[in-house]
Structure 1
C-alpha cells in the first residue's frame, strides 16, 4: 500500500508512485488538506513530473483557504480547475468572434453562401443572384466586414441601383439577397441580431406585367418552340389557353386530367388552394397526344430524371430572343417571359368581354383586385350597362 508523506508545508503531502519516474527517482503526487464547512477535505494538486512542488501546492492551499474565509471563489481545486476551463472556453469564443468580426461579405459569399445555396436553389436563381451580387452588392459592400453592415451602408446599394434606373422589384431583390446572406451568417454565429435590411424602407414593388402577346406573336412563338422542344411548346400552349403558372404545369399529374369532363385539376402552389382549368380543343389534342406516349412517371411534364420539374427550360428564353420579342425593351414588366402567356390568357378573355369575376376564378386570383389590372382591356361594357337605364322611366 502506498504511504502518504507529510512535507514541511502545512497541509501538503505527497505519495510516491511505484511505476512513474521523475528523473532517477519515483514520481511524487502532491495533495493538499484543508477544512471546508468544518469538514476535512483532501484534493490532488498534481505530479512533480508535471511541475508541481510542495511549495506550489502550499500556495494553492493558501489561496483556497483564504477564499473560504472571505467567501470568494474558487473554494476548491476542482472549482478552480472548472473556472480555468470556462475561462479557456470563453477565450476561444472571443477569439472566434474576433475572427468572425473581420469576415467580409465577399469572403462569406464565396466560402459559405454560394456553396450552400447552390444545393437547394435552381441554376436560374443562382445566376440571377450571382449577377445581382457582382453588379450591385459587391462593389459597395464586398470588402465590408459583415459585422460592420449598417442600414446607411446597405442603402448605398439601393441608391446606386435606383440611380441607374432599376425597378423597385430589383431593389427589393437586392435587399432580399443581403438579408439571406445575413441570416446564414447568423446561423454560423458570425453576426447576431436582426438584419440591418429590416430597418430600410423598401420601395413599393410594381411587378404588374402589362405586356401580352398578339395572336400573331403567340402563333409564331408556339411554332418556333415546337421546332426546338415539344415539352416547352406543350407547356406554353397549356399556359396560353388555360392560364396556368409554370409551377402549376410542372405539378400536373396524369390523375389531374379528366378527358371526359374536359377539366384539369390545378393545385395552386402560390395561394394554397385548388381550382379547375378547362381543355380547349388545342389543349385536349395536345394532352391526348402526350398521354399516348407514356413517360413512365406520374407527372405530365417531368424533368429528365422523371422527378418533378422545377424550372422553365432555357429554350423558351432563347426562342423569345431569337424572335426579337424583347428587342429594345428594358422595362422588365414589358419583357416577354413564360408568365406572359398566363397574362395573355387573361388579357384575351377580357378583350372578348368575359367578366372580371369570371377571369379571376379561372386565374385562381384570391381577390378581384388582382384582376382589375386587366380592366382597361375590357370593351365598353360598363358604360353600356349604365346607359341601358336611359329613358327607362319615360317608357
Structure 2
C-alpha cells in the first residue's frame, strides 16, 4: 500500500548545514533550500512555500474548519501577520514548536483533548505551552478574520501559572555580577553590562538586546527602550532617567560602541540568545532558578522594598496593567500597615 503524501516538510541536510523543504511530486522527492540553518526562519520559509502552492488551489469563500488545515492557518499567520508584528521571531519559534504535532490536522480537530495531548507531547512548562497555544489561537482567529474559515474553534489554554516571586538579594546580585565579570573572555564584554541594565531599569531581555545607542542620551541621562518604529504592544517599554551608577557604566560602554550600534553586543553584532552565558554565570555564582526575567522582578522588588509607590513602580517597569504591579505589593514596607493598625486599636 503506498504511503500517503505528507505534503511539504522541513529536513535538515547536515553536510550542507541548511534546512531544505522537501515534498513528493509525481512519485519523486523534490528539494528546495531555505537558505538558513535557523529552524524558526526555516518554518517561515516553509510557510511561504506552502502558501504559494495553496493559492493556486484555494476555493472561493470561507471553508468549514474541518476543511482547512492547521498547517495552512499557521502558514497564513506566519507569512501575512508575523512580519508586521512587534516580535516576529517569537511567532516563528512558536510556529516551529507547534508544527510537528499539528501537521496533517484540520482546524476542526482543535479540541480540549488535542490541546492536552499537545501539552503532554511537548513536555514543557505550562507557561511555555500557554504561549505556544496562544499563537495557535491567534493564527486560527486570523484565518477567520481573513475569511478563510467560517468560525474559529476554541483553543484550550492551560491555566495561567502564578508569577514567580524569585528575586535576588543584594549579595546574590553581587555574586552574579562577579561571576559575569570573571567568566569566559567572550562573555565578559557584554554579560556584566546586560545584568547591570536589567537590575537598574527592570527592562525585559528583548528590550535590552534590541537597545541601540541612539536610544540612550548620556548627556540628558535618559534611556528609551522603544526603538523608532516599534509597534506598541501590551508588553510596555519605559522611557526612563538613567540611575547614576548605571550611567557610569554606560559611558564606559559607549567608548566601545558605534553611533548606531547595539549597546549590548558581541563584537558589534546583536545577541539573539545569551542563555548559555547567563546560566553559566548563575551556576558559578551558586544561584538556582534564576533567569534574565528574575532581574526584572528583582528591580521591581527592590523598588517596593525602598517604599516607592506601586504606580511609580509600574511606570518604571512599563506595566500596562496595574494588576501586574500588585505582584510587588507585599514587598512594600507599608503593606497591610492599615490593617495591622486597625487590629492594634481594637485590642487597646
Bucket of the pairwise TM-score, normalised by the shorter protein: 0.5 to 0.7
Larger radius of gyration: 1
Report whether the alignment pairs 1:345 with 2:299: yes
- Asked if the contact 2:73/2:140 (under 8 Å) is kept, the reply is no
Tell me the SS of whatever aligns to 1:366.
Answer: coil
1:250 shift after superposition: 3.6
Alignment correspondent of 2:115:
157
- Asked if the contact 2:141/2:152 (under 8 Å) is kept, the reply is yes
1:287 shift after superposition: 0.7
- 1:7-60: CA deviation from partner (whole Å, max 9, x where unpaired): xxxxxxxxxxxxxxxxxxxxxxxxxxxxxxxxxxxxxxxxxxxxxxxxxxxxxx
Alignment correspondent of 2:283:
322
Tell me the SS of whatever aligns to 1:276.
Answer: strand
- 1:165-210: CA deviation from partner (whole Å, max 9, x where unpaired): 9665344334234346657988999x633332xx245444245232
Give 1:8-23 correspondences, 5 Å limit.
Answer: none
1:251 shift after superposition: 4.3
Give 1:129-144 correspondences, 5 Å limit.
Answer: 130-131=96-97, 134=100, 138=101, 141-144=102-105
Give 1:1-395 correspondences, 5 Å limit.
Answer: 130-131=96-97, 134=100, 138=101, 141-144=102-105, 146=106, 149-152=108-111, 155-158=113-116, 161=119, 168-179=126-137, 182=140, 192-196=149-153, 199-206=154-161, 208-226=163-181, 227-228=183-184, 229=187, 230-267=189-226, 269-270=232-233, 274-281=238-245, 283-301=246-264, 309=270, 311-319=272-280, 322-323=283-284, 335-380=289-334, 382-383=336-337, 387=341
Cα distance change of structure 1 residues 122 and 213 upon mapping to structure 2, 3 Å threshold: farther
* Structure-1 separation of matches of 2:266 and 2:76: 26
Cα distance change of structure 1 residues 304 and 292 upon mapping to structure 2, 3 Å threshold: closer
- 1:96-142: CA deviation from partner (whole Å, max 9, x where unpaired): x9xxx899767x799x689969x9677776556545655xxx2xx54
- Asked if the contact 1:257/1:263 (under 8 Å) is kept, the reply is yes
How many residue pairs were aligned?
275
Cα distance change of structure 1 residues 242 and 174 upon mapping to structure 2, 3 Å threshold: closer
Relative CO higher for 1 or 2, CA cutoff 8 Å, sep ≥ 6? 2
1:341 shift after superposition: 0.8
- Asked if the contact 2:282/2:290 (under 8 Å) is kept, the reply is no
1:275 shift after superposition: 2.6
CA root-mean-square deviation: 4.8
* Structure-1 separation of matches of 2:261 and 2:141: 37
Q: TM-score, normalised by structure 2?
A: 0.59
- Asked if the contact 2:313/2:325 (under 8 Å) is kept, the reply is yes
1:363 shift after superposition: 1.7
Structure 2: gaps of 5 or more residues? 1-56
- 1:339-372: CA deviation from partner (whole Å, max 9, x where unpaired): 2111101111212332323322322223433211
Q: TM-score, normalised by structure 1?
A: 0.53
* Structure-2 separation of matches of 1:93 and 1:362: 49
Cα distance change of structure 1 residues 150 and 122 upon mapping to structure 2, 3 Å threshold: closer
Cα distance change of structure 1 residues 258 and 175 upon mapping to structure 2, 3 Å threshold: closer
Cα distance change of structure 1 residues 184 and 276 upon mapping to structure 2, 3 Å threshold: closer
1:231 shift after superposition: 1.6
* Structure-2 separation of matches of 1:279 and 1:381: 26
* Structure-1 separation of matches of 2:340 and 2:78: 61
Alignment correspondent of 2:27:
none
Structure 1: gaps of 5 or more residues? 1-91, 328-334
* Structure-2 separation of matches of 1:177 and 1:256: 30
* Structure-1 separation of matches of 2:78 and 2:334: 55
Cα distance change of structure 1 residues 277 and 270 upon mapping to structure 2, 3 Å threshold: farther
* Structure-2 separation of matches of 1:239 and 1:210: 17
